[in-house]
Amino acid sequence: MGRTVLVARLDSAGDVLVQGPMVRALAAGADRVVFLAGPAGAEAAGLLPGVDEVWTWSCPWILGDPPPVDPADLAALTDRVRALAPDEAVVSTSFHQSPLPLALVLRTAGVPRVSAISVDYPGSLLDVRHRVDDDVPEPERALSLARAAGFELPPGDDGRLEVRRPLPPVAHGPGDADLSPGYVVLHPGASVPARAWPAQRCAEAVDALAAAGYRVLVTGGPAERELTALVAGTRGVDLGGGTSLAEMAALLDGAAAVVVGNTGPAHLAAAVGTPVVSLFAPVVPAARWAPYGVPTVLLGDQHAPCRDTRARECPVPGHPCLTSVTAADVVAAVEKVVAP
């Protein structure tokens, strides 16, 4: 049997997408890569080149809405890993998460070699305890862990984000036959409220982009249909709740630019090589989480009082870091990133 590597990243879709270069490095040195993902990240894991199988597990020490610790659930995961019998595991976490609880589960399951980034003393839980500077972009941070574990990208791989191709065909709403390559995608939702541009500003941006000659597609998840309908208004095309993640990637792949906050579709846009106008609330550092490897304009006050708070709800009345951004700012930024 060939060499199997289990890689774990247990939070959101965007967090999973930025693991792409790391996963490709692991795949270059292994015969099989199994990705252990959380419920919000499993679909993204399936889009990563190099992943052979995706497991989904709700982690009680990672998720923002964590399930209770269930001994039977932990035992079931342990048994499943034991049956897989991976040759090693690589546990990827954000800077504020600990890999050690999962490392303990993996050790209990008999995994002989475990690698992770850890600031805490790991005892016998880790074979490779890697250290990284805090302000490294997340894809580079993850790739450095793979390298510390002994894996390198294959020759010719530039280390950018990628998704599996071909992407599925996808409808763009009314007027598909006349769709030009100059459309813009505006994604108004965000994984947490502190990172969202106000809906009214998003609607103003749709009108301003339409007035500037762009066709604007407004995207969102199934729970965001009311938001996307409001934002699309009469001048945008409302695609809220109408696409899978792979179909969303196809939409973004065909766009001239994507206007989006610091949330999963920003990293999906980067993974298909589309320029991003990033409405970036500084609750987490842009140095780590800005769209990676594509032309990007950051909008938003990066020195606002909410900086580095990791807040889920804006701690400053009026959400000034993003309400300071206007529709005209967005149009100017789009024109900048799409300029030849």
For the ranges 85-94, 173-182, 230-239, 303-312, which has the lowest average pLDDT? 173-182
pLDDT of 294 higher than 70: yes
Indicate whether 184 and 312 sit together in one domain.
yes
Indicate whether 184 and 332 sit together in one domain.
yes
Indicate whether 290 and 218 sit together in one domain.
yes
CB 32 within 8 A of CB 55: no
Indicate whether 181 and 59 sit together in one domain.
no
Which CATH number do you get for residue 132?
A: 3.40.50.2000
Indicate whether 198 and 334 sit together in one domain.
yes
| pLDDT confidence band for 1 (50 / 70 / 90) | low
Average pLDDT, the chain: 94
| Domain hosting residue 13, numbered range | 4-148
10 occurs within a structural domain: yes
Indicate whether 56 and 190 sit together in one domain.
no
97 occurs within a structural domain: yes
117 occurs within a structural domain: yes
Q: What is the pLDDT of residues 198-219, one digit of tens each?
A: 999 999 999 999 999 999 999 9
- Among 110, 133, 148, identify where a domain stops: 148
One-letter amino acid at 275 equals P
302 occurs within a structural domain: yes
Indicate whether 220 and 123 sit together in one domain.
no
Indicate whether 141 and 207 sit together in one domain.
no
pLDDT at residue number 98: 96
- Among 133, 148, 163, identify where a domain stops: 148
Q: How many CB atoms lie within 10 A of CB 80?
A: 13
Distance (Å, rounded) from C-alpha 185 to C-alpha 181?
Answer: 11
Domain count, the chain: 2
Indicate whether 96 and 233 sit together in one domain.
no
pLDDT at residue number 223: 94
| pLDDT confidence band for 179 (50 / 70 / 90) | very low
Indicate whether 106 and 198 sit together in one domain.
no
Can you name the residues that pair with 5 across neighbouring β-strands?
A: 33, 88
Q: What is the pLDDT of residues 40-64, one digit of tens each?
A: 999 999 999 999 999 999 999 999 8
Indicate whether 190 and 123 sit together in one domain.
no
162 occurs within a structural domain: no
Indicate whether 24 and 137 sit together in one domain.
yes
pLDDT of 139 higher than 60: yes
pLDDT at residue number 92: 98
- Among 111, 132, 148, identify where a domain stops: 148
Its pTM stands at 0.95
Closest CA to 112 of 88, 145, 79, 84: 88
DSSP string covering 88-134, please?
EEEE---TTS-SHHHHHHHHHTT-S-EEEE-SS--TTS-SEEE---T
Please give the order of strands across the beta sheet that includes 237-238. Answer: 237-238, 216-218, 184-187, 257-261, 276-279, 296-299
157 occurs within a structural domain: no
